[in-house]
Amino acid sequence: MIINHPLLGPRDAAEFTVLGDASLLHRPDGMTATMDDMHDYAYLRDNPAGLHRELWYHEQGDRSWLVVTRNTLTHDVENVELARDVARTEGRSK
Amino acid sequence: MRYSALKILTQGLTGNKGWTPAWREPDPKADYDIIIIGGGGHGLATAYYLAREHGLRNIAVLEKGWIGSGNVGRNTTIIRSNYLLEGNQPFYELSLKLWEGLEQDFNYNAMVSQRGILNLIHSDAQRDAYVRRGNAMRLSGADAVILGPEEIRKTCPYLDFENARFPIQGAIWQPRGGTVRHDAVAWGYARGADERGVDIIQNCEVTGFQMDGGTCVGVETSRGPIRAKKVAMCVAGSSSRVAEQAGMRLPIESHVLQAFVSEGLKPTLPGVITFGAGHFYVSQSDKGGLVFGGDIDGYNTYAQRGNLPVVEDVCEGGMAIMPMIGRARLLRMWGGVMDMSMDGSPFIDQTHIDGLYFNGGWCYGGFKATPASGFCYAHLLATGNPHPVATAYKLDRFRTGAMIDEKGAGNSPNLH
């Protein structure tokens, strides 16, 4: 798989490690969240067959976190964004 | 029809005209006592033990494709019971005991071959850990022997004992481990279940669940609705997709594990050998090919194929312990989709929906578990209580903190 890094251009997927579902960006506030909220955040996944937004870390490269939208049936990479931009757009890391 | 040497002789003398199909191809009935979704090894074993151990007959196994078309035919065929934790080891030891009696039990040649499994040790710390594991295995009634390099040299002189980075300092050996002809496991269980009245319905995809006031009362399928008192999911690899139809989210991600076979070689490997410093395991099939594998690819996928970086990583693992493998050519490779759970351990449990049961999350260790998985799932379905060796496989264990994390990797499915 080739990941089209927004800053570095096409990079081999072997340079990255994968954390998983990009919903992990939305960690509940530990001071106010219920036990169920934290459990669901930490342990449950949608795990779709088809388009999946996921967090990739460019460990062997510029160490940026990316949100990769990828098809889990074909391995086609549809979209790559900087996780920082996604998080800000979605109201995180203000 | 009971298979025997006499049967082969008499059939051979009469032109082999008397053989009958090993299982029927029935149309689905309108309702059953129990529906098992998934005609893989675990689903067929569940049906077999429900019929054999609990006397239940009115059972259907629904399979989307043909039986055994999934992971029961895509694994590297290894059986063993060398786990550490209490929640796991007694379960896998029951499985190994069931493997030992399986062929006589279901009257089918599954080529169970207990040639032993050798887990290599490459450091002092690893020896300590493996001695501890060996003790845990022996406490559960399993067998485990710690070997030094000289004892390993007697059977495997070609290993790279003096490797500068990963010298081989010893091994933990389980003589009762080995390999099994995996397709024959599916066929043997299917034949045994069918003989006892179970309907095995192929090309029948479950497309939804019938709910009645919070109770599951049947399934919608590509061959029409079928009602049942109990519905049992058994579709590891596709668990999230099937459970989603019942509105469930699972502590599971789907990942691909690749497997490889070399060209046929003369007999060289006595049993299964695993690399302790990387991830590589290898055995030799009866046809002579080296059957081997390593890590999962690490990204969510439902495609039954992986990518080249893992091929390179696996082959490097092989070269590190067995340099001669570099002279063999890779013949075939393929991938299977795994349910990777949040702690690396499986689930055999009731769901929060009455009448709906779940078996899955087998990570890449499902094949060796096939008999015990079926045995314990049948026990749960028939009695309503978990089997004593499978009490830890709860779906809510992340809520209660009772995780079974053999590797200590936490809630990162791609690291187990």
For residue A56, tell me if it sits in a domain: yes
CB-based contact, A13 to chain B, within 8 Å: yes
Name the residue in chain B with its Cα closest to that of A2. Answer: B307
In this prediction, residue A92 carries a pLDDT of: 84
Domain count, chain A: 1
How many CA atoms, within 13 angstroms, populate the side-chain half-sphere of residue B316? 12
Cβ–Cβ under 8 Å, residues A21 and A67:
no
Contact B251 A44 (CB under 8 A): yes
Q: In the 8-state DSSP scheme, what is residue A49?
A: S
Assess if CATH 3.50.50.60 describes domain B22-77+182-251+343-415.
Answer: yes
Contact A20 B300 (CB under 8 A): yes
Interface list for chain B against chain A, based on CB atoms closer than 8 Å: 240-241, 249-254, 298-303, 307, 309, 342, 398-399, 411-414
User: Smallest Cβ distance to A18: which of B254, B302, B414?
Assistant: B414
Name the residue in chain B with its Cα closest to that of A69. Answer: B300
Beta-carbon count within 10 A of B11 CB: 15
Q: In the 8-state DSSP scheme, what is residue A45?
A: B
Tokens for B100, please give them: 């030992």
Helix axes B370-383, B41-54, angle to 10 degrees: 50
Contact B250 A45 (CB under 8 A): yes
For residue A36, tell me if it sits in a domain: yes
**One fold for both B22-77+182-251+343-415 and B117-175?**
no
Which residues on chain A are in Cβ contact (under 8 Å) with B316? none
How many CA atoms, within 13 angstroms, populate the side-chain half-sphere of residue B331? 13
Backbone angles phi, psi at B225, to 5 degrees: -75, 145
User: Smallest Cβ distance to A1: which of B251, B307, B414?
Assistant: B307
> What contacts B408, CB < 8 A, 6 or more positions away?
none
**B252-264 sheet: strands from edge to edge:** B145-147, B170-174, B117-121, B272-275, B280-284, B289-300, B252-264, B330-341
For residue A94, tell me if it sits in a domain: no
The sign of the CA dihedral A77, A81, A83, A88 is negative
Contact B298 A18 (CB under 8 A): yes
Please give the residue range of the domain that contains residue A71: 2-89
In this prediction, residue A93 carries a pLDDT of: 66
Residues 45-84 (A) with a CB less than 8 A from some CB of B: 45-49, 52, 54, 70, 72-75
For residue A29, tell me if it sits in a domain: yes
In this prediction, residue B390 carries a pLDDT of: 98
In this prediction, residue A94 carries a pLDDT of: 62
What totals of helices (H) and strands (E) does chain A contain, helices first? 2, 6
For residue A51, tell me if it sits in a domain: yes
Tokens for A12, please give them: 């081999």
Tokens for A80, please give them: 């790559």
User: Smallest Cβ distance to A72: which of B252, B302, B414?
Assistant: B302
3-state secondary structure chain B: CCCCHHHHHHHHHCCCCCCCCCCCCCCCCCEEEEEEECCCHHHHHHHHHHHHHHCCCCEEEECCCCCCCCHHHCCCCEECCCCCCCCCHHHHHHHHHHHHHHHHHHCCCCCCECCCEEEEECCHHHHHHHHHHHHHHHHCCCCCEEECHHHHHHHCCCCCCCCCCCCCCEEEEECCCEECCHHHHHHHHHHHHHHCCCEEECCCCEEEEEEECCEEEEEEECCCCEEEEEEEEECCCCHHHHHHCCCCCECEEEEEEEEEEEEECCCCCCCEEEECCCCEEEEECCCCEEEEEEEEEEEECCCCCCCHHHHHHHHHHHHHHCHHHHHCCEEEEEEEEEEEECCCCCEEEECCCECEEEEECCCCCCCCCHHHHHHHHHHHHHHCCCCHHHCCCCCCHHHHCCCCCCCCCCCCHHHC
- Select the residue from B240, B302, B305, B399 to test the A interface by mutation, using most A Cβ atoms within 10 A: B302
Q: Tell me the nearest-neighbour CA distance from A89 into chain B, angstroms.
A: 24
Pick the CATH number of B117-175 from 3.90.1200.10, 3.40.50.300, 3.30.9.10, 3.40.50.2300: 3.30.9.10
For chain B, the structural domain boundaries read 22-77+182-251+343-415, 117-175, 253-341
Q: Tell me the nearest-neighbour CA distance from B185 into chain A, angstroms.
A: 28
Cβ–Cβ under 8 Å, residues B382 and B54:
yes
Q: Which CATH topology does B253-341 take?
A: D-Amino Acid Oxidase; Chain A, domain 2 (3.30.9)
In this prediction, residue B281 carries a pLDDT of: 98
Query: In this complex, how many residue pairs, one in chain A and one in chain B, have their CB atoms less than 8 Å apart?
Result: 69
* Rounded CA separation B392/B399 (Å): 13
Residues lower than pLDDT 70 in chain A: 93-94
Residues lower than pLDDT 50 in chain B: none
B324-383 pLDDT tens trace: 999 999 999 999 999 999 999 999 999 999 999 999 999 999 999 999 999 999 999 999
Which residues on chain B are in Cβ contact (under 8 Å) with A11? none
Burial B104-130 (b: 16+ CB within 10 A, else e): eebebebbbbbbbbbbbbbeeebbeeb
Q: In the 8-state DSSP scheme, what is residue A72?
A: T
In this prediction, residue B1 carries a pLDDT of: 87
Tokens for A34, please give them: 């219920």
Q: Tell me the nearest-neighbour CA distance from A54 into chain B, angstroms.
A: 9
B386-399 pLDDT tens trace: 999 999 999 999 99
Which residues on chain B are in Cβ contact (under 8 Å) with A66? none
The CATH code of the domain that includes A24 is 3.30.2270.10
